């Protein structure tokens, strides 16, 4: 979008939108800078600031950074038509600046802000048709997501910002949200609050009020407030705080049309409730705010992104981000001197630190507003149920066994129930392979389809039911609120490891996929704890490794499947714990941060929501089948198929000749080169190739085995091929000891490229990605070596 500051001297433009807030926005609109008006650039000052403009027959000057907040459409000639009534712009032609201004002014940028678990992402999904992940715990939205949709002639761009409790610079989410509000300047802020927890949720609202921005409050989960018997006069409360309040129930969509209508009214400046209110903070603090605010207003500082009052409050609180914003201003020393004098005085008088006083006054403001508008009902039924359940699941004796039992149940169900559809898919793939083998003419294309594509992709797709079951369990735990309880009971243990209690959630998420799990470490305020959590997360066995486990456990340990599967996950956790201890002791300095995590009320997830989340992961898995795994399978097949003996066709080659041909392939040469490194672990050259193929995605390990062992045996299933005798050695390549060694190595060695990329991006340094590759692989080699050598010794 073109800004008025970009228009050169002598040129003209038509105004589209006025950004900014409060007094600035009101002032420029009063002097004629309104949508549809034509403005001419007269000249720039010698230092290019300020700039003189002509509008509505008279001249006015604006600072360049003020002009940067006015969006315009450049006029290409002097025939542009201007109309007085900006609400009824007439269409002349598609290139007419007035028409373009009307079109552009119908775009509303909305910033969606609220506490964790307030229903922001549910609303985002509902209005935009997106499919963002929704979970009943802190940190689901770890980055901003933007979607556009059309509503009543407007194009609304809605940005779902990370959940945050305040706008301090304490956590990455808080900093991210505040920087977004500073840099992007949305047209309207949509602040979602939970109706059943107003006092806590409205604290963030008071901070947004201090900013003096156009805002609407969405009163979400309003049905829970009504069920409790409570009453809230939300219209009266909205008038008290100067912000329209609209009740909503995002899970059903109730109230959302009214919410969007209100956003449009606020954007157009037509809502009667809107007014700027000062959240009073006590006489002493108000005196301090006034002196700092007046000094800021009298200075050369262009107060555009944040109101002077908000900056004054943050200066009193000693906010580091605001300090950095203002430190280059010539009056900064004066403001700091005023601040220090008042802070010393107030803290001596009140015998309390200034931040605590401001927080108490804000909660006092909220309490006073609710006392006049809110009538408490009976204790909400779900809260009572929550307390009863919490006495059991967070009990110091019962909490851990319950957690372990739930995890064991997840693994048992994943393997046992998933085994039935897995066998059906295996039979289907065998039937398909047989049909193609029977009817397709011999040649490289047939070999690629049967051995490369079906042998590779088919060997992985059979595990789709197991993965869906695991994601169904994880989804249920997240949506129900149990995941936060698991983090709560693990807090003490995590602190003993030198970590934060919040680290537990990214670690559990790692059972699904390490990439979003590493991204979710942003919920951890402590930088050192965040880094350690990132680096140990790859030891959490992601779902991509599950096909490897199910293949080998089902082949060699079918009678103890759930026990072996859970043991692998426990091993990953143990290695992660030891790594965390080593990192905390020798590298990352201890950084204690208080463990503050919301324990939301339990909610019974709908079957539709659980199945929807489960299928989203299944869909990703299937897309991977048709993308990276398909391509990798074909590449592995090509390397194993060539060079080819041109003197013989495929139908002339015996089974033994096919094996010899594979032994002389390009793939075999690569495998034999790596083999000496992995031979002490019980691996041959084929296994080394499978390990290397896991660089792009761990599922490819199974597809690679499927391709490599397609020529060794005439058996149909990959399990049978692995247990069949090797024609060269006369015994199977895989046995129970080697299977355990291979699973341990697959569990611990370097993560996939996507995970490495996430670590580098989130840590801000490539050295942490390199550490993960080198350290994890070394740990995997040592652990697999011990397992194999001890196994051989015992047997």
Q: What pLDDT does residue 244 have? A: 94
Between 463-477, 557-571, 652-666, the lowest mean confidence (pLDDT) is in: 652-666
**What is each CA distance from 29 to 18, 25, 70, 336, 488, in whole angstroms?**
8, 6, 11, 33, 51
CA distance 405 to 142: 30
Structure tokens at 295: 């000094």
How would you list the strands of the sheet with 51-55, edge to edge? 2-3, 70-75, 12-18, 38-44, 51-55, 58-62
| Residues near 713 by beta carbon (within 8 Å), at least 6 away in sequence | 720, 721, 724
Instruction: List 156's β-bridge partners, or say none.
Output: 108, 149
* Other beta carbons less than 10 A from residue 57's beta carbon: 6
* Distances in whole angstroms, Cα of residue 475 to Cα of each of 134, 168, 469, 699: 9, 31, 10, 21
Asked if pLDDT for residue 593 goes beyond 60, the answer is no
Nearest to 521 by CA among 29, 67, 172, 277: 172
User: In the predicted model, is pLDDT for residue 465 greater than 80?
Assistant: yes
Question: If you average pLDDT over residues 97-113, what whole number do you get?
Answer: 69
Mean residue pLDDT of the chain comes to 78
Residue 683: CB atoms within 10 Å: 25
- Portion of the chain with pLDDT greater than 70, in percent: 81
Closest CA to 151 of 15, 264, 39, 276: 264
pLDDT digits (tens, 9 = 90+) for 669-703: 888 888 888 899 989 888 888 888 777 678 778 87
Quickly count: other Cβ atoms within 10 Å of residue 344's Cβ. Answer: 11
Quick one: CA torsion of 412, 415, 421, 426, rounded to 10 degrees? -170
Confidence of residue 743 (pLDDT cuts 50, 70, 90): very high
Nearest Cα to Cα of residue 178 among 355, 20, 170: 170
* Structure tokens belonging to residue 727: 């024609």
DSSP 246: E
Under a CB-based contact definition with an 8 Å cutoff, are residues 209 and 333 in contact? Answer: no
- Angstrom distance (rounded) from CA 478 to CA 492: 21
pLDDT at 595: 47
What are the DSSP calls for 352-384, one per residue? S-HHHHHHHHHHHHHHHHHHHHEE--SPPHHHH
pLDDT average, residue stretch 173-181: 81
pLDDT per residue over 606-646, tens digit each?
777 778 777 776 776 677 667 767 777 788 778 777 776 65
Judge contact between 208 and 303, C-beta under 8 A: no
pLDDT tens by residue, 363-409: 878 887 887 888 877 655 555 566 778 788 878 788 888 888 888 88
Assess whether pLDDT exceeds 50 at residue 176: yes
* pLDDT one-digit tens code per residue, 451-464: 778 776 776 777 78
Q: What is the mean pLDDT of residues 733-738?
A: 89
Element (H, E) at 3: strand 2-3
Token readout for 557 is 């340990």
């Amino acid at each position: 979008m073109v800004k008025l500051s970009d228009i050169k001297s002598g040129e003209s433009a038509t105004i589209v939108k006025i950004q900014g807030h409060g007094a600035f926005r009101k002032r420029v609109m009063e002097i004629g800078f309104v949508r549809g008006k034509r403005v001419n650039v007269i000249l720039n000052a010698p230092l290019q600031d300020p700039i003189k403009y002509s509008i509505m027959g008279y001249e006015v000057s604006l600072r360049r950074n003020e002009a940067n907040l006015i969006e315009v459409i450049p006029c290409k000639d002097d025939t542009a038509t201007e109309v007085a009534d900006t609400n009824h712009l007439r269409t002349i032609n598609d290139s007419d600046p007035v028409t373009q201004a009307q079109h552009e002014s119908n775009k509303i940028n909305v910033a969606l802000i609220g506490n964790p678990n307030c229903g922001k992402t549910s609303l985002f999904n509902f209005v935009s048709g997106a499919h963002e992940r929704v979970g009943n715990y802190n940190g689901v939205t770890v980055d901003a997501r933007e979607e556009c949709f059309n509503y009543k002639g407007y194009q609304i761009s809605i940005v779902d910002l990370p959940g945050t409790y305040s706008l301090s610079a304490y956590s990455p989410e808080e900093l991210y949200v505040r920087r977004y509000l500073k840099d992007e300047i949305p047209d309207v802020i949509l602040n979602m609050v939970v109706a059943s927890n107003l006092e806590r949720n409205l604290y963030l609202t008071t901070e947004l009020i201090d900013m003096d921005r156009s805002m609407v409050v969405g009163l979400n989960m309003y049905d829970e407030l009504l069920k409790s018997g409570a009453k809230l006069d939300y219209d009266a409360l909205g008038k008290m705080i100067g912000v329209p309040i609209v009740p909503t129930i995002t899970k059903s969509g109730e109230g959302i049309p009214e919410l969007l209508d209100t956003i449009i009214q606020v954007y157009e400046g037509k809502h009667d409730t809107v007014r700027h209110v000062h959240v009073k903070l006590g006489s002493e603090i108000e005196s301090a705010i006034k002196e700092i605010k007046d000094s800021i207003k009298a200075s050369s500082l262009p107060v555009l992104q944040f109101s002077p009052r908000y900056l004054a409050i943050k200066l009193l609180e000693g906010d580091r981000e605001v300090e950095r914003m203002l430190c280059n201003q010539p009056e900064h020393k004066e403001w700091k001197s005023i601040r220090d004098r008042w802070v010393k005085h107030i803290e001596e008088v009140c015998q309390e630190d200034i931040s605590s006083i401001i927080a108490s006054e804000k909660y006092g403001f909220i309490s006073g507003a609710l006392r006049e508008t809110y009538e408490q009902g009976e204790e909400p039924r779900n809260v009572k149920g929550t307390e009863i359940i919490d006495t059991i699941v967070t009990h110091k004796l019962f909490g851990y066994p319950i957690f372990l039992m739930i995890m064991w149940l997840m693994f048992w169900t994943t393997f046992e129930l998933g085994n039935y559809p897995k066998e059906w898919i295996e039979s289907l793939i065998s039937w398909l392979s047989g049909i193609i083998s029977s009817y397709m003419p011999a040649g490289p294309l047939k070999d690629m389809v049967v051995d490369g594509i079906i042998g590779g992709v088919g060997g992985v797709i059979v595990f789709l039911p197991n993965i869906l079951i695991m994601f169904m369990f994880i989804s249920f735990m997240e949506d129900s609120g149990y995941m936060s309880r698991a983090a709560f009971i693990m807090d003490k243990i995590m602190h003993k490891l030198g970590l934060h209690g919040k680290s537990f959630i990214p670690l559990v998420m790692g059972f699904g996929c390490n990439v979003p799990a590493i991204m979710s470490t942003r919920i951890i305020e402590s930088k050192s704890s965040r880094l350690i959590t990132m680096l140990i997360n790859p030891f959490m066995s992601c779902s991509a490794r599950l096909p490897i486990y199910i293949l080998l456990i089902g082949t060699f340990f079918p009678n103890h499947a759930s026990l072996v599967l859970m043991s692998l996950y426990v091993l990953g956790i143990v290695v992660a714990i030891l790594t965390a201890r080593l990192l905390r002791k020798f590298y990352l300095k201890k950084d204690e941060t208080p463990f503050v995590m919301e324990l939301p009320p339990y909610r019974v997830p709908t079957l539709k929501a659980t199945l929807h989340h489960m299928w989203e992961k299944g869909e990703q898995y299937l897309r991977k089948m048709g993308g990276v795994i398909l391509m990798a399978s074909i590449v592995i097949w090509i390397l194993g198929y060539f060079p080819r003996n041109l003197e013989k066709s495929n139908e002339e080659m015996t089974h033994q000749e096919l094996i010899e041909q594979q032994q002389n392939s390009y793939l075999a040469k690569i495998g034999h080169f790596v083999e000496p490194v992995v031979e002490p672990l019980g691996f041959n050259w084929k296994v080394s190739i499978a390990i290397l193929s896991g660089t792009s995605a761990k599922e490819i390990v199974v597809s690679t085995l499927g391709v490599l062992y397609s020529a060794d045996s005439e058996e149909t299933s990959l399990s049978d091929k692995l247990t069949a005798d090797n024609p060269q050695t006369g015994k199977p390549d895989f046995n129970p000891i080697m299977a355990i060694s291979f699973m341990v190595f697959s569990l611990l060695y370097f993560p996939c490229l996507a995970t490495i990329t996430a670590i580098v991006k989130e840590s801000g340094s490539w050295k942490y990605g390199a550490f993960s590759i080198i350290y994890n692989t070394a740990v995997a080699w040592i652990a697999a070596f011990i397992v194999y050598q001890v196994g051989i010794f015992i047997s």
